[in-house]
Amino acid sequence: MDIVIAGAGQVGFHIAKQLSEEKKHVALIEKNKDKAAFASENLDCMVINGDATNIDTLKDAGCDSASMFIAVTNSDEINILSCLLVSSNFNIEKKIARLRNLEYTKPFSSNKGIGIDFIINPEVEAARSIINSVNFGASSDIIIFEDTDIQMRGIYINKDSPLLNKNINDIKRTINKDFIISSIKRENGDLIIPKGFSEVKEGDYIYIVAKRHIMEEMLEKLGKARIRIKNIAIFGGSKIGLMAAKGLKGKNRNIKIIDKDYEKCKDISKECPKAIVINGDASDADIFEEENIADFDVVITSTGNEEINLLSALYSKNIGVKRSIALIDKQNYTTMASKLNIDSVVSPKLSAVSSILKFIRKGNIVGVYSIFGGEAEALELSISNESNFQNKKIKDIKLPKNTLIVAVSRKSQTIIPDGNFRIENDDRIVMFAKKEDIPEIEKMV
């Protein structure tokens, strides 16, 4: 598969890196000389310093033979125009554009065939992640799989964890519920797809997969019991913060939005008339006391500054806020947030990457969730008669070494399977895999 990507920002760079490491043929177009030079030095793919709205640049990037064009520059207008030019001048099967302005998404979503095949909006995806987290108690990072009762939750193992220094078999015997620990990220950076003898250690970050009611029981035992969230404070009137506020309204919730820009606060008051809007700075400790933030059930930090998001989420927990959610993209900050008792981290970059990967993945892969900064993926697959999985027991399927089938949805039933479980036609399965094993899985399904 030949793929051309316009834009070497955080999303474009990450997608290019991941796909080139999977041995796909990738060309990256970037207008900014410094960004192009950085990408060229750090990526194993073709990098062109040029304008994605120039036909000659598009030709140089290989659009004559590419099967996919992904426009993720920082400009919606350039993303739209480059896709229209590609559609008019090249025979490329899929054109994907990142559009942040919701007013742009409406006409293109309702008029397929005019140049853009798929639209992604990272702000919408990130806001949806925040809403899901709050609706399920904001006790941990959470992935919810469509049309199933399955959840995947991320848990940091500290010195007080009841799972500390126990292997997977012992944990399953102790808890005696249907669940799977799908992955362990060590403090030294190692990523492990665990076996029964694998031991959970202090500093690990683990992902647990289970049905919703079992997950809530487990989280309670792990000291992360679900709480009823009524009072919500949002620091930062960003697009993501406002979309989250609108999605969280109702259910007798009280929402307070705090932003340091006075003029923006006036606009927010019009957009969210039922919310209390305060002109204040998340980096000012006095605002926490003046607005009684310690009495809130959850604080969401969604300013445009990741450092402030991290520190204000941490400070909120230290003064007594029950739960905190931080908007963070940098991988080292994400790791730090887990260690500092911040309950959930939402990454707009990874939200965008996951949305794009869903369209890139081959076979019957219908959902993709990028995890650990792209080191692994949770995949949703639909099983057809042509699949190599069909009518086989899991233990008989020759999966790549670092791959695990963690859940199966069959009609209205959701199952956490063991090795003797037989996969059938029309099953929807959830898999966890390291990135290097993805190409092999694509061939199997």
Q: Are residues 285 and 187 in the same domain?
A: no
Domain boundary among 120, 150, 182: 120
Closest CA to 431 of 132, 167, 125, 183: 183
127 belongs to a structural domain: no
Confidence at residue 438, expressed as pLDDT on a 0 to 100 scale: 85
**200 and 93 in a common domain:** no
Q: Give the CA diameter of the chain.
A: 64
CATH number of the domain that residue 31 is part of:
3.40.50.720
Are both 12 and 100 inside the same structural domain? yes
DSSP string, 65-129: T-SEEEE--S-HHHHHHHHHHHHHHS--SEEEEE---HHHHHHHHHSTTSS-SEEE-HHHHHHHH
Structural domain ending residue among the three candidates 221, 243, 263: 221
Q: Domain for residue 101, yes or no?
A: yes
368 and 431 part of one domain: yes
- Whether residues 145 and 166 fall in one domain: yes
Query: Are 213 and 303 part of one and the same domain?
Result: no
Establish if 128 belongs to a structural domain. Answer: no
Select from 292, 346, 340, 296 the least CA-distant residue to 322. Answer: 296
pLDDT reported for residue 107 = 60
**Residues 6 and 113 reside in one and the same domain:** yes
Residues 6+ apart with CB under 8 A from 169: 196, 197
Q: What's the pLDDT score for residue 106?
A: 62
CA distance 174 to 177: 9
The reply to whether 17 falls in a domain is yes
Q: Are residues 391 and 363 in the same domain?
A: yes
State how many domains the chain has. Answer: 4
Quote the CA–CA distance of 431 and 423 in Å, as a whole number: 13
Which CATH number fits the domain that encloses residue 406?
3.30.70.1450
- Residue 256's domain comprises 229-342
Please compute Rg for the chain using Cα positions.
22
Residue 395 lies in a domain: yes
Are residue 407 and residue 390 in the same domain, yes or no?
yes
Residue 88 resides in a domain: yes
The pLDDT score that the predictor gives to residue 110 is 52
Q: Based on the fold, state whether residues 420 and 440 are members of the same structural domain.
A: yes
130 assigned to some structural domain: no
In the chain, which stretches have pLDDT less than 50? none
Out of 198, 221, 244, pick the residue that ends a domain: 221
Residue 415: other Cβ atoms inside 10 A: 16
Q: Say if 106 falls within a structural domain.
A: yes
The angle that helices 76-89 and 102-110 make with each other, rounded to 10 degrees, is 20
| Same domain for 116 and 8 | yes
Question: Residue 81 CA to chain centroid, in angstroms?
Answer: 27
Q: Are residues 430 and 334 in the same domain?
A: no
Which pLDDT score, from 0 to 100, does residue 40 have?
94
